């Protein structure tokens, strides 16, 4: 029998769906740091991020059959982690004590919050893209696939893959300008 840690994510997922606890443990170990990083970036609190990470893997176990193994696993997993973190954040806000202690913010903390806000704006702009453009964009930027690999993955010509990525970028920049995330001075790039 092959070492489970050497199996592809798609093979592990298939084994998890067939109730293989070892495969799920390998999948969790493989993606724990990835998921925790997303949760911590959103929640900014170690314990909350750990809780959201556990909730993410619980959801993955329950809904893994919905993941399409022909598509990259990481964007799907990142979406689950982001949703769990935002749910956790909403719960935390609705149950916050009346006497919250206010901690002074450092420059690094302020910059991290700004980066988090920009990241959320980018996620919103990305979600607004047509499906094929969003997929091509994620494959290029998140999965770091070449245009040839994107074309194969999406079953389209290379030129179409390039066009989809280009149009996605253009629409995202436009959306970010419309929401004043990018300044109008940045428009004069042409």
CATH code at 57? Answer: 1.10.1740.10
For residues 175 and 124, give the distance between their C-alpha atoms in angstroms, rounded to a whole number.
9
* Res 1 pLDDT > 90: no
Give me Rg for the CA atoms of the chain. Answer: 19
Count of domains observed in the chain: 2
Given a contact cutoff of 8 angstroms between Cβ atoms, the answer to whether 138 and 92 are in contact is: no
Name the region of 144 (left: φ>0; alpha: ψ -120 to 50; beta: rest).
left
Give domain status of residue 103, yes or no: no
Residues 142 and 118 in one domain: yes
What pLDDT, on a 0 to 100 scale, did the predictor assign at position 51?
92
Highest mean pLDDT among 116-120, 127-131, 140-144: 127-131
| Rounded percentage of the chain residues whose pLDDT exceeds 70 | 79
Residues 39 and 67 in one domain: yes
Given a contact cutoff of 8 angstroms between Cβ atoms, the answer to whether 52 and 39 are in contact is: yes
Q: Rounded to the nearest 5°, which phi and psi values hold at 89? A: -65, -45
| Higher-confidence position of 82 and 180 | 82
- Residue span of the structural domain in which 34 resides: 1-95
**Residue 190 pLDDT grade (very low, low, confident, very high; cuts 50, 70, 90):** very low
For residues 35 and 135, give the distance between their C-alpha atoms in angstroms, rounded to a whole number.
20
Residues 70 and 132 in one domain: no
State pLDDT tens for residues 148-175: 999 998 999 999 999 999 999 999 888 8
What pLDDT, on a 0 to 100 scale, did the predictor assign at position 186?
43
Residues 84 and 112 in one domain: no
Give domain status of residue 101, yes or no: no
What pLDDT, on a 0 to 100 scale, did the predictor assign at position 95?
64
3-state secondary structure 32-62: HHHHHHHHHHHHCCHHHHHHHHHHHHHHHHH
End-to-end alpha carbon distance in the chain: 58
Residues 38 and 120 in one domain: no
What pLDDT, on a 0 to 100 scale, did the predictor assign at position 92?
75
Residues 91 and 1 in one domain: yes
Give the end of a domain, one of 45, 64, 95: 95
Residues 30 and 118 in one domain: no
State pLDDT tens for residues 81-114: 988 988 888 887 776 555 444 445 556 665 666 5
State pLDDT tens for residues 35-81: 999 898 888 888 888 999 999 999 999 999 998 888 889 889 988 99
For residues 36 and 86, give the distance between their C-alpha atoms in angstroms, rounded to a whole number.
13
Q: CA-based angle 17:18:24, to the nearest 5? A: 60
Residues 167 and 84 in one domain: no
What pLDDT, on a 0 to 100 scale, did the predictor assign at position 181?
64
């Amino acid at each position: 029998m092959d070492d489970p840690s050497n199996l592809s994510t798609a093979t592990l997922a298939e084994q998890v769906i067939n109730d293989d606890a070892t495969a799920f443990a390998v999948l969790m170990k493989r993606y724990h740091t990835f998921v925790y990083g997303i949760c911590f970036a959103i929640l900014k609190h170690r314990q909350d991020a750990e809780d959201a990470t556990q909730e993410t893997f619980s959801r993955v176990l329950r809904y893994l059959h919905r993941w399409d193994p022909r598509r990259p696993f990481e964007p799907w997993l990142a979406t689950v982690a982001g949703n769990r973190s935002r749910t956790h954040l909403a719960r935390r806000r609705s149950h916050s004590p009346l006497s919250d202690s206010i901690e002074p913010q450092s420059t690094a903390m302020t910059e991290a919050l700004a980066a988090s806000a920009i990241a959320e704006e980018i996620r919103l702009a990305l979600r607004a893209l047509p499906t094929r453009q969003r997929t091509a964009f994620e494959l290029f930027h998140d999965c770091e696939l070449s245009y040839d690999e994107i074309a194969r993955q999406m079953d389209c010509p290379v030129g179409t893959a390039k066009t989809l990525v280009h149009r996605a970028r253009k629409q995202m920049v436009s959306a970010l300008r419309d929401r004043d995330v990018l300044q109008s001075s940045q428009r004069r790039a042409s």
